[in-house]
Amino acid sequence: MSDKIYVQQMEFYGYHGVFPEENKLGQRFYVDVIIETNLRKAGVTDDLNETVNYAHIYDICQSIVEGKPFQLIEAVAEHIAEQILSAYATISSCTVKVTKPNPPIKGHYAYVAVEITRGR
C-alpha cells in the first residue's frame, strides 16, 4: 500500500513520565501519525466517509495524551495506535511518533521520542 495520510506535529499537554514532578506539573508532547490506507475511493468520490477523518485522529490523540497519565511515552504511542486501528477497519497500518521535547533528564539534546508502527 502506498497511500498515506499524515497528521503531524499535534501539540498537547500531558502528565506522562516516571518522575513525580512530571505527573504533577505536566509538559508538552508532540504526536505525529502516518496512516496507510487505500485512498482511491475517497479520491474518486470526494466523500469523507470513504477516508479517515483527520479531526477524529486528532481527537483520539488528544484524548490519550491529555488523559490518564502513563509512565512511558511508549505506552502513549501504543494506545494511540490501538485506538486508531480500532476506529477504522480500512487502515492497514499506522505509525505513531510521540515526542517529549523537554524531559527532565540531564544533558543537551533536541528531544526524546519513540516511533512505533502497528498493523493488522
pTM score, whole prediction: 0.95
Domains of the chain, residue spans: 4-119
Per-residue model confidence as pLDDT tens digits over 47-90 = 999 999 999 999 999 999 999 999 999 999 999 999 999 999 99
The confidence score (pLDDT) of residue 40 equals 97
Q: Which residue has the cell 480500532?
A: 86
Return the CATH architecture of domain 4-119: 2-Layer Sandwich (3.30)
Residues belonging to the active site: 100
SS (H, E, C) 19-87: CHHHHHHCEEEEEEEEEEECCHHHHHHCCHHHCCCHHHHHHHHHHHHCCCCCCCHHHHHHHHHHHHHHH
